[in-house]
A and B are shown apart, each in its own frame.
Chain A
Amino acid sequence: MNGTIFAAIMHGGIVTLEVAFGAWLIGSVIGLLLAILRQLGGKPAAWVIGILVAILRGVPQLVILYFAFFALPTLGINLSPVTAAIVALGAAEASFTAEYYRAAIATVAREQQEAGRSLGLPELKIFGLIVMPQALVVAVPALLNSLLGLLKLATLASAVGAPEILYNSQLEMNRVGHLLGIAATVIAVYLIVSLPGIHLVRRLERRVSRHLIAAT
């Protein structure tokens, strides 16, 4: 009996992982594209991206999720609850990760781009071979932090009926009660995952700032 409740919560946990990792991938990739376009795309591109980012950043993730799940079908785009959560949370996250990349790109010394130009390298190569490899290292802690955030944000997917950890716990609570036990289990799962994660990010950050100090 209790085994089945626990199993249901853990099954939900797997869906939570799916949502979080999916959204993280989308967020990291689209965020990178936005950062690159903003850097290389000229004025109109930067303008359009600026508006897009402001919208994604100013509207709550829950509202973006409702939009993806309830409003997109009227435009003929039908998404399952899990897909809608991945798309919505990923899009919202991209507006943040774009900024992490931008800040990371800014830490790469200007002289390096000029050196690349003086060697006659094309802009795209300077960006891809000189700037990005160094910037990505700096962005690692922020990206890992975004994954930790998404593991928590993934619980919003329960609002559109994705069978993730919170949704399954609520089902079990309505079915058999045991509110305290179920709540304690969910919180314990999060503590076990997040606390080491927070410490790892902290250590990586220290390493990155030491690396940057050494570079300057």
Chain B
Amino acid sequence: MWAQWAHVLASGLVVTLELTGVISVCTIVFSLLLASAAVSEIKPLTRCCRLYSDVVRSIPLLPALIFVYYGLGRDFVQIGVNTFWLACLVFVLSESGYQAEIYRGIFRSMGAGQWEAGRSLGLRWRQIVTRVLLPSCLPAIIPVSVNAVVLILKDTSLASMITIQEVTLSANGLVSTSFQPLQVYILLAGFYLVVVLPIMGLSQLLERRLTRGARRPGIMLGTGFPGARRPVPLDLTDGKAAASAGRDVAGSP
């Protein structure tokens, strides 16, 4: 019985991991683009990026998924795009709002003055981003990106609500056939923990390794722990406060 359940959940977990992989990669790339636009000197562009983040963070993920699925699901299937990709689209648009704010905070705290410096050397926007900003902020970007993968993985359970056969929906199927919700959901929680806990550990390890010796980006109240979504940054570098690592908040899905 347990072996059979584990088999069913494992096939669901594959879909969960596929979703997580696609969404994570797209979210990280899109958020880095948004964040680098948000710290550029072009005011309208900066405004647009911040407005995007604020609006997206105000809209809950589950209604967004359900409304888009009800409204466009059938049309998308008819043009040959299945629900999986529709879900990916909604997830990426939503998660990027949170992630872009986190990256923007890092860029602002560690990259202060780098725009001016790059400009005075005659570098273009793309050159400043790829040659100056990204390399210098990489030690801070990597751990928070790994952390984002955990949050995205947890959020993909919402995809079960729009009929994507990921691990939570597989478990619901098992519950409706076996009538043993207690055992099935404990097994399901175990499946999530087996994947999530190592990634959380990795995120913590990377943060310790990468920020060792370097100037710490500051105490971010509520971000220095695995699974944290909502940075409440408080910079107390060397006992005295410096530029805050991203003054803004990100909510939850």
A interface list, Cβ under 8 A from B:
54-55, 57-63, 66-67, 70-71, 74-75, 95-96, 99-100, 103-104, 106-107, 138-139, 141-142, 145-146, 148-153, 155-156, 158-159, 165-166, 169-170, 173, 179-180, 183, 186-187, 190-191, 193-195, 198, 201-202, 205-206, 208-209, 212-213, 216
Contacts and interface: CB of A to CB of B under 8 A. Distances in A.
A46 to B, nearest CB: 14
Given A55-B193, A96-B227, A99-B228, A195 B59 contact: no
Nearest to B200: A58
Contacts of B230: 96, 142, 145-146, 149
Tell which of B67, B168, B186, B192 has the most Cβ of chain A within 10 Å.
Answer: B67
B71 A180 contact: yes
A95 B251 CA distance: 15
Interface of B: 54-55, 57-64, 66-67, 70-71, 150, 154-155, 157-158, 160-161, 168, 171-172, 175, 180-182, 185-186, 188-189, 192-193, 196-197, 200, 219, 221-222, 224-230, 232-236, 239-241, 244, 247-249, 251-253
Contacts of B59: 152, 187, 190-191, 194
Given A62-B160, A63-B185, A198-B54, A100 B222 contact: yes
A141 B247 CA distance: 11
Contacts of A208: 234
A165 B62 CA distance: 11
Chain B binding surface SS class: helix
A215 to B, nearest CB: 10
A66 B189 CA distance: 11
Given A187-B63, A195-B58, A202-B249, A74 B182 contact: yes
A104 B67 CA distance: 39
A151 to B, nearest CB: 8
B210 to A, nearest CB: 20
30 contacts: A54-B193, A57-B226, A59-B192, A59-B196, A60-B155, A62-B158, A70-B175, A71-B181, A71-B186, A74-B182, A96-B227, A106-B219, A138-B234, A142-B232, A145-B232, A149-B252, A152-B59, A153-B253, A166-B66, A183-B70, A187-B59, A190-B58, A202-B247, A202-B248, A208-B234, A209-B233, A209-B244, A209-B247, A216-B240, A216-B241
A75 B181 CA distance: 11
Contacts of A61: 154
Contacts of B188: 63
Contact of A145 (B186, B219, B226, B251): B251
B38 to A, nearest CB: 15
A96 B55 contact: no
B235 A209 contact: yes
B151 to A, nearest CB: 10
Nearest to A182: B67
Given A146-B230, A209-B235, 19 more contacts: A58-B154, A58-B200, A59-B196, A63-B188, A71-B185, A152-B61, A156-B62, A183-B71, A187-B63, A190-B63, A201-B249, A205-B232, A205-B249, A208-B234, A209-B234, A209-B241, A212-B236, A216-B239, A216-B240
Nearest to B197: A58
Contact of A58 (B172, B192, B228, B229): B192
A103 B225 CA distance: 10
A169 B58 CA distance: 18
Nearest to A183: B67
Contacts of B158: 60, 62, 156
Nearest to B60: A152
A99 B64 CA distance: 29
A107 B236 contact: yes
Contact of B228 (A74, A96, A166, A205): A96
Contacts of A139: 221
